[in-house]
Structure 1
Amino acid sequence: MLWTFAFGLWGLSRQDSVWRDEAATWQVAQRSTVEIWHMLANVDVVHGFYYLLMHLLFECFGPGTTTLRLPSVLATAVAAACVAVIGRRLASAWAGLAGGMALPLLPAVQFHLQEGRSYALVAAGAGVTTLLLVTALQRPVRTRHWAAYSAAVLLMGLLNWLSLMILAAHLATLLWTPAERGVLARWAVAAGCATVGVLPLIVFSRNQSAQLSWIPPLSWHMLIGPGVLLAIGGAGALLDRPRAGRLSSSTVGLPLLAVPQLGLIALSLIQPIFLDRYILYSMLGLALLIGTAVGSAVRAVKPRFPAASNWVLPTVLALAVPALLPQSLAKRSPASRVDDVLAVASDVRHLKQTGDAVLFVPSARRDSKSVCPEAYAGLRDIALAETPEASGTLKGTESAPNRIRAAILAEHRVLVVTDASGVARPVTADRDKMKTTILRQYFTPVADEQIRGRRVTVYERDKPYPNRA
């Protein structure tokens, strides 16, 4: 836990940058509970439980990058501790320690270790539920134990219902072990209760599935990453083969790694949803199997070189940490994310003049204003018809294209906040096409700054109003 916590605190602010996914958390967490409920009826209901939790934290500790990201650091530390305990119980103390210390070093985990989103919290839930399952298989447990298991799975599902795939991974472990009928029955009741609790969220969120339309269809090159992970995990499981057929690191770690990966691939064949962050918790299985490999190395060295066996893990870490240092530095830099809403707000602050107007292309780039309203003070948001808070959305409701056209032509100076040229996608909405067309026809850019994936262009009108007859 201490290793992971220290690793998470390193570079926590990422040079005071916040990217668009975290900006969604930031802006929603600052709304009232009533406004959050209003928004969840229209968008992002799948993240509703997490937003309410972050709202409580923002109320208690104030908004900031530390409040935004520290929950993920603490959650990953809990997940690492669970991996260490599971590895110790199923293999050896060295295997547990190696697995727990390997978890925060994995590149995918490093990315979400300092992310203001729910995925690290789901990983912590996966660690707790898997530890509870191992406990149930190792010793007699009471009803309250299964109640705790069910509650932990329920919380995972409320944070992200795709995490319920962990139940399939746990079932694979139970069948592989194999577990007693009584244990299987109690597990089925606990899993069923948790699933029933999450079911309303699953049904309601299907009405908002259009939010996932930007995810590309599954392709062969997207399978390279999962293939590499499964190969590494499979190699670790082979080292545990003498223990296969009963509870061991392989019977717990391999299903935890493989089932969510394969399950998400299967679901993506129906609807494109293949994003590795949805199954970040599967990295606990990989870490457990890596720890098993290190533990096996210690066990192999110890009979002939007892003193040297104590240096196997330190040696592995001494090689792994420098090798992964470029990745570690990259994950902690603003360039590791698509854009930075705080940086572009700073540009707006020094480019704006009294009486200026502002446009956002596309409207989702209004997240910068929602996170840093003080930077946009004095600017008229001429396209906005209803604020994000009042409309129950993340980006607000904009006026009809003809009204926006008239509003633009009534201005002398307009600031346009959009994506940087390197990451910008062609505009598709009629409103956004109209905005860019009118600006090109009747305005001239007089200032243009790009920083960390965002762009601010200042336009001044150089042509008279068009003939409206």
Structure 2
Amino acid sequence: MALAPAATALVVGLWGIRRRNSLWSDEAVTYEVAHRSTSDIWRLLAEADVVHGLHYFLMHAVFALWDGGPVALRLPSVLAVAVTAAGVGLLGHRLAGPRAGLLAGLALPLLPAMQRYAQEGRSYALVCALVTWGTWLLLEALDGGGRKRWAGYGAVMLAACLLHEFAVLGLIAHGTTVALSRKALRPWAVTAAAVVAGLSPLALFSATQSGQVAWIGAPDASDLGVFAATALLGTACARLGRATIRRPVSLPTLALPLLILPAGLLLALSLLRPLYVDRYVLYGSIGLALLIGAALDRLPSRATVATVSLVAATVALLPFGLQLRTPEGRSDNVNAVAEAVREMSAPGDGLVFTPARRAWVLANPGAYAHLDDLALASSPAASGTLFGTEVAPAEIRARMLAAPRIVAVADAYGEPGDSTGRAATKSAVLRAHFEVCDTRRVTRAQITVYARPGYC
């Protein structure tokens, strides 16, 4: 029940893990920050990204053991999905029988979202693994009680929440399962209160850095459509997979809250303050996989199960799986941007970023070494910030006017504007004193070469 899903997850996760040596900007941030010293990471977290602090320290330890580039960056996520698949297999076995468990565990690593985040150097797959085994420990505590079991459950769920705060929504899903099962509501409430208390210092401090999620927009029709379709699929699987054997906690009672509540609550909260991003509640895939496994188990014959499973696996892996393992499978590619800048620029050219988000540079600073970053005051590591600090607008203007050619790297979409006036200064100088020589769109970046008239 555990080994076959884990092995499948490893094979699927390791397939194309390098993505042709591409990195997208969030991974580039992880890569650069994890290579800083522990004191420099602490210094950064005082200013930004404290919500990802535990993951940065974990990746710092990984790179200290093996500095294996993109593979080392993504390998913890691959292993985490394998651990998640093993746990889902055991959960399915416990709640609906051996074949349902096996099918659920095999379905988990084939889900499109799990395939994606199994190969990303961020914390989301690790959170899934912790929520999965926290769910297992919850069932252990509900079956046998005892302070040690509840303490183990609380410790694992707190670890998940410290890796990413929105894992606390999984705690709410667990509370719904406990309430529907009418078992041990008081010890669960005490344990949940302890988890929330342990998370509170991080949550309160991260609230002071809320400007970092200003890029998140209100949920659109596609977000709502995907949520509705997934919820309907899960509900249909729950009806099909209803077990005839009575258990203290039924599979739908556990899986449906995990699938629906975290995403639904985050969507509802986004009506007040946009915070919904599907990867923040990736662990809802645990519930979906359990429901799919139970539904397949109820099909009338083994041949039907095998046929449906084969078709589903083929659809999941081809062509979606192929595209996901290319550089084009992510919203941007910092290495492709660096290569385009190298091709379009000449030694000594000026360089500006609008907005001042140097994620493009973090994983490959050598590619920009021949350029003069005109606005930079202090590098990310030296300043204890994510993207470095910039000089005052007047100094930026003076430096730009002294440069005959400037390469401007802009976010085409998805990032908030610069409220300090520096972006406005850069744009005004370029419009008034320079002409466009060349421009190129590379994934999410717009790269434009400007020059004084006659210098293109």
TM-score strictly above 0.5: yes
Structure 1 residue matching 2:451: 3-state secondary structure: strand
1:53-64 → structure 2 map (5 Å cutoff)? 53-62=58-67, 64=69
Is the contact between residue 215 and residue 416 of structure 2 (CA under 8 Å) also seen in structure 1?
no
Superposed CA offset, 1:129-164 (max 9, x none): 1111122334x3553332221111111010111111
Match for residue 94 of structure 1 among 88, 96, 99: 99
Q: CA deviation at 1:329?
A: 2.0
- Residue 144 of structure 1 aligns with an amino acid whose one-letter code is K
Q: Determine the structure 1 residue equivalent to 2:3.
A: none
Match for residue 126 of structure 2 among 121, 132, 152: 121
Change (3 A) 1:275 1:426: closer
Task: Work out the CA distance in 2 between the residues paired with 1:147 and 1:168.
Answer: 17
| Greater CA drift, 2-11 or 256-265 | 256-265
Q: Determine the structure 1 residue equivalent to 2:38.
A: 33
Change (3 A) 1:150 1:333: same
1:315-464 → structure 2 map (5 Å cutoff)? 315-324=307-316, 325-364=318-357, 366-419=358-411, 423=413, 429=419, 430-462=421-453
**Unaligned stretches of 5+ in structure 2?**
1-5
Q: CA deviation at 1:31?
A: 1.3
Task: Work out the CA distance in 1 between the residues paired with 2:247 and 2:313.
Answer: 34
Change (3 A) 1:66 1:135: same
Change (3 A) 1:425 1:184: closer
1:123-142 → structure 2 map (5 Å cutoff)? 123-138=128-143, 140=144, 142=146
Q: CA deviation at 1:428?
A: 5.7
| Greater CA drift, 18-27 or 184-193 | 184-193
- Residue 114 of structure 1 aligns with an amino acid whose one-letter code is Q
Task: Work out the CA distance in 2 between the residues paired with 1:416 and 1:195.
Answer: 45
- Residue 396 of structure 1 aligns with an amino acid whose one-letter code is G
Task: Work out the CA distance in 2 between the residues paired with 1:427 and 1:87.
Answer: 47
Task: Work out the CA distance in 2 between the residues paired with 1:449 and 1:239.
Answer: 51
Q: CA deviation at 1:424?
A: 7.7
**Unaligned stretches of 5+ in structure 1?**
302-308, 465-469
Q: Determine the structure 2 residue equivalent to 1:161.
A: 165
- Using the aligned pairs only, state the percent identity: 43
Q: Determine the structure 2 residue equivalent to 1:222.
A: 223
Is the contact between residue 214 and residue 416 of structure 2 (CA under 8 Å) also seen in structure 1?
no
Task: Work out the CA distance in 2 between the residues paired with 1:452 and 1:385.
Answer: 28
Structure 1 residue matching 2:406: 3-state secondary structure: strand
Aligned residues: 447
1:285-304 → structure 2 map (5 Å cutoff)? 285-297=287-299, 300-301=300-301
Is the contact between residue 157 and residue 198 of structure 1 (CA under 8 Å) also seen in structure 2?
yes
Q: CA deviation at 1:253?
A: 0.9
Change (3 A) 1:432 1:159: same
Change (3 A) 1:239 1:426: closer
- Residue 6 of structure 1 aligns with an amino acid whose one-letter code is V
- Residue 428 of structure 2 aligns with an amino acid whose one-letter code is T
User: Is 2:166 the partner of 1:175?
Assistant: no
Q: Determine the structure 2 residue equivalent to 1:149.
A: 153
Is the contact between residue 25 and residue 334 of structure 2 (CA under 8 Å) also seen in structure 1?
yes
Is the contact between residue 110 and residue 328 of structure 1 (CA under 8 Å) also seen in structure 2?
yes
Match for residue 76 of structure 1 among 67, 76, 81: 81
Q: Determine the structure 2 residue equivalent to 1:204.
A: 205
Change (3 A) 1:427 1:247: closer
Q: CA deviation at 1:425?
A: 7.5
Highest CA radius of gyration, 1 or 2? Answer: 1
Q: CA deviation at 1:445?
A: 3.7
Structure 2 residue matching 1:270: 3-state secondary structure: coil
Q: CA deviation at 1:457?
A: 3.0
- Residue 364 of structure 2 aligns with an amino acid whose one-letter code is C
Match for residue 19 of structure 2 among 2, 14, 19: 14
Q: CA deviation at 1:338?
A: 1.7
Task: Work out the CA distance in 1 between the residues paired with 2:99 and 2:63.
Answer: 39
- Residue 164 of structure 1 aligns with an amino acid whose one-letter code is V
Task: Work out the CA distance in 2 between the residues paired with 1:167 and 1:427.
Answer: 35
Task: Work out the CA distance in 2 between the residues paired with 1:463 and 1:349.
Answer: 21
Change (3 A) 1:398 1:463: farther
Is the contact between residue 215 and residue 414 of structure 2 (CA under 8 Å) also seen in structure 1?
no
* Cα RMSD, aligned residues only: 2.2
Q: CA deviation at 1:6?
A: 0.6
Q: CA deviation at 1:245?
A: 7.7
Task: Work out the CA distance in 2 between the residues paired with 1:269 and 1:359.
Answer: 35
Q: Determine the structure 1 residue equivalent to 2:266.
A: 264
Task: Work out the CA distance in 1 between the residues paired with 2:170 and 2:451.
Answer: 56
- Residue 207 of structure 2 aligns with an amino acid whose one-letter code is R
